């Protein structure tokens, strides 16, 4: 079976397993945190958003150590085993961006997108997700109690919208709703114009997983000695990575598109070693 079909099956299966919590269907509610970005406010959610647990652990100057370490250890265990593969093989928002990726790839071919994509500032923009993680998940939660999940576009998509659809007339918007709606619209625009735009620049869960690429068992290896530098791999990469020159890049989500694309099969999944 082709690698990308396997990945699609994995994404679909994990999407359904993340949504086994709808009452009666079968109503499974666990005490785990998702290792990816998904909201416990989704009527069918089975687990908690890792960011929500982290925010709650440092709420207004407090420190609940169990709640702090629990999501980090879940993400850490998976991160050491598979690096950021969770983003490409499990995350429902990754599945969504796979769907919008076709449009984004067309946009990518326009001259303006090419110019912006190759701008030297682009690589610095990728640090936004780390800034977002530190500032809105930890610092503002700790200092003033303002939390990222109150304005989260993923929560809006997977929590607010389904709740409104399933309970017509039962809920009305609160004071966070207009801000969250604007951010959600920007999120939609982003994922339609930049392939994996959310993962590249803004995903705080991706920021938690990314450093583990440096030590993960599973990683992508390139046989650079025999590489002909055709750059097909880099063109195919949804994260916009310069594949031949990457080594355990924190941005790599191990989707395997470069593995499939390499005409000489010089790019492979490796399970151990550097």
Partner 1 sequence: MKKFLVLQIGALVLVSGALGGLVAVTPVYDEVRSGIVLVLCLSCLKLEPNTLANFTFQTADNQSHAGFVLENLSQGPVFLHYSGDACAGCDVMYPVIKDLFSIEFGKQDMFSSIVAFENTSVPYIYVNIHHTIDELRNAQPIYDKDHVGGIPMFTIVTLGYDNGDVKPKYTTLYGTLATYGCDTDAQRLVFLQQLLRQSIEMYNQNKEGYHHH
For residues 82 and 100, which CB has a smaller minimum distance to partner 1 in the complex? Answer: 82
166-185 binders of partner 1 (CB under 8 A): 169-177, 180
Nearest approach, Cβ of residue 33 and partner 1 (Å): 7
- Report if residue 74 touches partner 1, rule: CB under 8 A: yes
Instruction: Give the Å distances, CA to CA, from 237 to 11, 28, 99, 191.
Output: 18, 36, 15, 15
Please tell me whether residue 145 binds partner 1 under the rule CB under 8 A: yes
Task: Based on the shown chain and the rule CB under 8 A, indicate whether residue 82 belongs to the binding site for partner 1.
Answer: no
- 45 is a contact residue toward partner 1 (CB under 8 A): yes
Q: Does 113 bind partner 1 (CB under 8 A)?
A: no
Q: Which residue in 4, 59, 135, 188 binds partner 1 (CB under 8 A)?
A: 59
**What are 274's two structure tokens?**
């550097």
Locate 102 and state its tokens: 């076709």
CA distance 128 to 115: 20
Least distance (Å) between residue 109 CB and partner 1? 36
Looking at residues 4 to 23 of the shown chain, list those that interact with partner 1 (rule: CB under 8 A).
21
In this structure, the number of other CB atoms found within 10 A of the CB of residue 61 comes to 10
Q: Does 274 bind partner 1 (CB under 8 A)?
A: yes
Residue from 3, 9, 12, 73 in contact with partner 1 (CB under 8 A): 73
- What DSSP string describes 87-139? HHHT-HHHHHHHHHHHHHHHHHTSHHHHHHHTSTTHHHHTTHHHHHIIIIIII
Least distance CB 92 / partner 1 (angstroms): 17
CA–CA separation, 59 vs 138, rounded Å? Answer: 9
Please give the Cα distance from 243 to 230 (Å, whole number): 11
> What is residue 17's three-state secondary structure?
helix
Comparison of 25 and 127: residue with beta carbon closer to partner 1? 25
DSSP 1-48: --HHHHHHHHHHHHHHHTT--BTTBB----SPBPSSS--TTSTT--SB
Q: Does 77 bind partner 1 (CB under 8 A)?
A: yes
Tell which one of 20, 41, 132, 232 touches partner 1 (CB under 8 A).
Answer: 41
Residue 17, both tokens: 């397993």
Q: 77 or 264: whose CB is closer to partner 1? A: 77
The least CB distance from residue 37 to partner 1, in Å, is 14
Q: Which residue in 262, 154, 254, 257 sits closest to 202, CA to CA?
A: 154
- 202-221: which residues touch partner 1 (CB under 8 A)? 215-217
Q: Which residues contact 140 (CB under 8 A, 6 or more apart)?
A: 146, 147, 148
Pick the closer one to partner 1 by CB: 184 or 262: 184
* DSSP designation for 230: -
What is the enclosing helix (H) or strand (E) of 234?
helix 232-236
| Shortest reach from residue 159's CB to partner 1, in Å | 6
Which residues of the chain form contacts with partner 1 (CB under 8 A)? 21, 29-33, 39-41, 45-49, 52-53, 55-56, 59-60, 62, 64, 66-67, 69-70, 73-74, 76-77, 80-81, 141, 145-147, 149-150, 152, 155-156, 159-160, 163-164, 169-177, 180, 215-217, 272-274
């Amino acid at each position: 079976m082709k690698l990308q079909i396997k990945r699609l099956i994995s994404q679909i299966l994990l999407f359904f397993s993340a949504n086994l919590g709808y009452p009666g269907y079968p109503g499974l509610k666990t005490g785990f945190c998702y290792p990816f970005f998904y909201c416990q406010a989704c009527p069918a959610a089975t687990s908690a958003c890792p960011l929500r647990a982290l925010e709650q652990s440092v709420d207004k100057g407090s420190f609940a150590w169990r709640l702090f370490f629990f999501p980090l250890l879940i993400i850490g265990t998976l991160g050491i085993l598979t690096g950021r593969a969770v983003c490409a093989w499990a995350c429902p928002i990754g599945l969504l961006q796979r769907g919008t990726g076709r449009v984004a790839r067309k946009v990518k071919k326009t001259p303006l997108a090419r110019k912006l994509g190759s701008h030297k500032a682009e690589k610095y923009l990728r640090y936004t997700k780390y800034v977002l993680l530190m500032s809105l998940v930890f610092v503002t939660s700790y200092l003033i109690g303002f939390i990222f999940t109150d304005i989260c576009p993923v929560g809006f998509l997977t929590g607010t919208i389904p709740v409104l659809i399933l309970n017509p007339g039962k809920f009305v918007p609160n004071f966070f709703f207009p801000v969250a709606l604007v951010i959600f619209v920007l999120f939609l625009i982003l994922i339609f114009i930049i392939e994996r735009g959310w993962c590249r620049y803004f995903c705080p869960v991706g920021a938690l997983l990314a450093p583990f690429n440096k030590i993960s068992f599973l990683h992508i290896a390139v046989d650079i000695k025999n590489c002909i530098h055709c750059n097909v791999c880099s063109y195919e990469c949804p994260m916009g990575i310069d594949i031949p020159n990457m080594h355990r890049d924190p941005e790599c989500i191990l989707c395997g598109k470069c593995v499939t694309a390499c005409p000489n099969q010089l790019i492979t999944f490796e399970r151990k070693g550097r």
